[in-house]
Amino acid sequence: MPSRRPDISNLADAVLRGERAALARAITLVESTRADHRDDAERLLARLLPRAGNATRVGISGAPGVGKSTFIEAFGLMLIGAGHRVAVLAVDPSSKRAGGSILGDKTRMPRLSQAEAAFIRPSPAGKSLGGVARRTREAMIVAEAAGFDIVIVETVGVGQSETSVADMVDFFLLLIAPGGGDELQGIKKGIVELADLIVVNKDDGDLAAAAKRAVADYRHALRLLVPADGDAVEALSVSALEERGLDRVWQTATRRLDAARSSGAFAARRARQAQAALWREIGDGLIELFRDDEAAARALKALEAKVAAGKVTPSAAAQQALEAFTRR
């Protein structure tokens, strides 16, 4: 980052013109944790926000080994072929430094990374999932203002990252794949309730039969475990390698999203996500104020040990810690 404060007005205009270098600089700015950069980022986002919001936001979660990069590249190229402009962002809180995560690694999606109508960005680094998620939501605003009409947010599914991603997208798909035996790779307890669509990859070669069986099994299982209504989770198989089935994934997504737009559910979801993000940020900010408070921190150290040992109830401990905080 240059030491001279960037001209935010010019940077915003360049982003709005769709200039790639400006887009990258703008996202680097929103990812920065320096206080002066945060101020600049807020000013930049204020200019870009009115021009954001018109993209379709798709979350994709897939464990290592299910072929996520192959899928996203093939899916992205199909969308570009249909006239879209596709940004690919990532949420990976285990990434130690910007560009250090395997997600959004351009070498794994070489064709897509070279497409003019695509923009791939690795996950921001971050100490907390909340911080990484916030930066990704802000990068999404920048990408949308720059003219990308589909934003894909990918995650490997570590910790609560799927929940974070589901909270910022309009449609969430889980990518899984047959492992060669009877088991399926990529299932994590709890993910089913987040997904709108389960995509079974590797419907090709030796695993084709297993992939098709998995789709049938999943359709049956999902009917049992998820109430049958308009929002039932669907399942289908694809071959990212042979680039088959990707159009059906998009058709499924657009069918459901069009229905959601008509019913008002789409806008309601976006409003709910924004409110939830607001209160999450408020809560995180309050906890940070609390943790930074010396008196509260001192009280807390002793209280956490007593709670773990069953010597004081969590409520009593919380009350004592809050009293130490408010007395300051």
Footprint on residues 130-149 left by its own copies (CB under 8 A): 134, 137-138, 141
Q: Do 74 and 112 touch, CB atoms closer than 8 A?
A: no
Backbone angles phi, psi at 282, to 5 degrees: -60, -50
For its own copies, which is the closer residue by CB, 43 or 108? 43
Least Å from the CB of residue 205 to its own copies = 22
CA distance 59 to 90: 9
Pairing of strands 184-185, 171-178: antiparallel
Nearest to 5 by CA among 48, 49, 28, 39: 39
**Does 7 sit near its own copies (CB under 8 A)?**
no
**Does 181 sit near its own copies (CB under 8 A)?**
no
Report residue 20 as tokens: 């790639």
**Does 79 sit near its own copies (CB under 8 A)?**
no
**Does 209 sit near its own copies (CB under 8 A)?**
no
57 secondary structure, DSSP code: E
**Does 46 sit near its own copies (CB under 8 A)?**
yes
Backbone angles phi, psi at 61, to 5 degrees: -115, 140
Footprint on residues 271-290 left by its own copies (CB under 8 A): 271, 274-275, 277-287, 289-290
Nearest to 176 by CA among 71, 257, 73, 251: 71
For its own copies, which is the closer residue by CB, 112 or 184? 184
Q: Give the HSE-up count for residue 45: Cα atoms under 13 Å, Cβ half-sphere.
A: 20
Q: How many chain residues are in contact with its own copies, going by CB under 8 A? A: 64
Cα first-last separation, the chain: 38
Least Å from the CB of residue 70 to its own copies = 23
**Does 193 sit near its own copies (CB under 8 A)?**
yes
For its own copies, which is the closer residue by CB, 158 or 318? 318
Among 2, 50, 83, 264, the residue binding its own copies under the rule CB under 8 A is 50
Binding mask 221-260 for its own copies (x = CB under 8 A): xx-xxxxx--------------------------------
Q: Which stretch binds its own copies (CB under 8 A): 12-20, 121-129, 142-150, 184-192?
A: 184-192
CA distance 191 to 188: 6
What is the DSSP secondary-structure string of 149-202? Answer: SEEEEEE---TTHHHHHHTT-SEEEEEEEE-SSS-EET--TTGGGT-SEEEE--
Among 13, 242, 258, 304, the residue binding its own copies under the rule CB under 8 A is 304
The residue ranges that bind its own copies (CB under 8 A) are: 42, 45-46, 49-50, 52-53, 134, 137-138, 141, 183-184, 187-190, 192-193, 214, 217-218, 220-222, 224-228, 271, 274-275, 277-287, 289-290, 303-304, 307-308, 310-319, 321-322, 325-326
